Amino acid sequence: NLSSKAIDTLISFCLSNSYFEYNHQYYQQNKGGPMGSPLTVALAEIRVTEIETTALLTSPDPPSFYRHFVDDGYGRFRDKDHAMSFLTLINSLSDDLVYTIEHPADNGSLPFLDILIHGDNSTSVYRKPTHTDTYTNYETSAPQSTKDALIRSLTRRAYNICSPKHLDNELSHIRKILINNGYPHQRIDTLMHKTKDALKRPKTDPSTAVEPVSKVSIPYFPNLSKPLRCISRRHQVKLTFSSNLTLRNILTKTKSTPKAILTPNVIYEIPCGQWTESTVDRQNDLFRKDSLNTRVLQEEQEICPIPNYNMPPR
């Protein structure tokens, strides 16, 4: 039940109070929104929609067809000059965003998201020139469900995107990709056929699905995870697997290491030779959620009344 003014105030507060830390220095972001924030995504979508809607309504010669998804747009124009005039108009409406344009290839095809739209309006799956067709290898230590999901998702995408004239070529390409990544022929054919049959069946009502009693996520262990999942299903517990130890986590470091005084969940010791044993035992709090700095400040407040006691330097 928030008013428009209240929403505007809250949005302005979020955008004007965005801070980040780099190399142990703190900075305030003075333009745009913080990356990863749901608010930034929503505001960016609103802004792009506003610009493109204004361009379509004010253009003396708008395109015959125009659609956009996030930051990609697709339009139908008479020729390149018509498209360039619309590009000039839409770029004149904002100083913050700069639109670029991609013209159809010589054969009339033009990519839009993961769809390649051909000159005859048929469609097929689009892959960027840098795409290597490298996916999770079948011998990888990963849940079988993850490997099966790869086969299903590639097959489902082919049926959802490809026109009939391009479907067989895409399915053959998928088989070739999976074989090169070590997947067994029989497993590929079985799951591809099951996915095709599932697409033909009417969709079930999501409200009738049986929800698990609880959900649990644990690290994946090849010989243990499958039996655990079977047991969890009998008790209506959804078990998922995660892996925090990856090459990316090991080899990359995108954030600065915080100072020790700001670290939470620590074991700390404060030398206090003149205190009694019972008082010292009270300080042995392990893995406190508060940062070390916060805990030391609390200790200072408690110790302050003791005469002739100096807190150890931090």
| CA 129/CA 181 separation, integer angstroms | 19
Q: Which residue, 293, 290, 299, 297, is CA-closest to 272?
A: 299
DSSP conformation class of 209? S
Q: With contact defined as beta carbons under 8 Å apart, do 35 and 44 qualify? A: no
Looking at residue 162, its pLDDT comes to: 97
Mean per-residue pLDDT for 244-265?
A: 71
Q: Would you say residue 248 has pLDDT above 60?
A: yes
Mean local confidence (pLDDT), 51-68:
94
Q: What is the mean pLDDT of the chain?
A: 83
**Integer-rounded Cα radius of gyration of the chain:** 29
pLDDT at 277 over 60: no
Q: What is the pLDDT of residues 126-177, one digit of tens each?
A: 999 999 999 999 998 888 989 999 999 999 999 999 999 999 999 999 999 9
Query: What pLDDT shows up at residue 270?
Result: 65
pLDDT of residue 49: 93
Tokens representing 307 are 């005469």
Which pLDDT score is estimated for 224?
Answer: 82
pLDDT of residue 212: 73
By CB neighbour count within 10 A (0-12 exposed, 13-18 middle, 19+ buried), where does 183 fall?
buried
pLDDT at 226 exceeding the cut of 70: yes
Q: Taking the CA atoms of 221, 226, 232 and 238 in sequence, report the sign of the dihedral they define.
A: positive
Cα 117 to Cα 42, 74, 107, 124, 251: the distances in Å are 28, 10, 11, 7, 39
Range with lowest mean pLDDT among 16-20, 114-118, 190-194, 286-290: 286-290
Amino acid at 130: T
CA-CA distance, 178 to 174, in Å (whole number)? 6
Q: pLDDT value at position 81?
A: 95
pLDDT band for position 250 (50/70/90)? confident
| pLDDT tens digit sequence for 22-44 | 777 888 888 888 888 889 989 98
What local confidence, expressed as pLDDT, does residue 184 receive? 96
Indicate whether 280 pLDDT > 80.
no
Sequence-separated (6 or more) residues with CB below 8 Å from residue 177: 133, 135, 154
- Of the two residues 255 and 116, the one the predictor is more confident about is 116
Distance CA 265, CA 295 (A): 11
pLDDT at 20: 83
pLDDT grade for 282, boundaries at 50, 70 and 90: very low
Q: How much is the pLDDT for 305? A: 53
Mean pLDDT, range 61-86, rounded to an integer: 92
Give residue 171's pLDDT.
97
Band (285; pLDDT cuts 50, 70, 90): very low
pLDDT average, residue stretch 215-232: 84
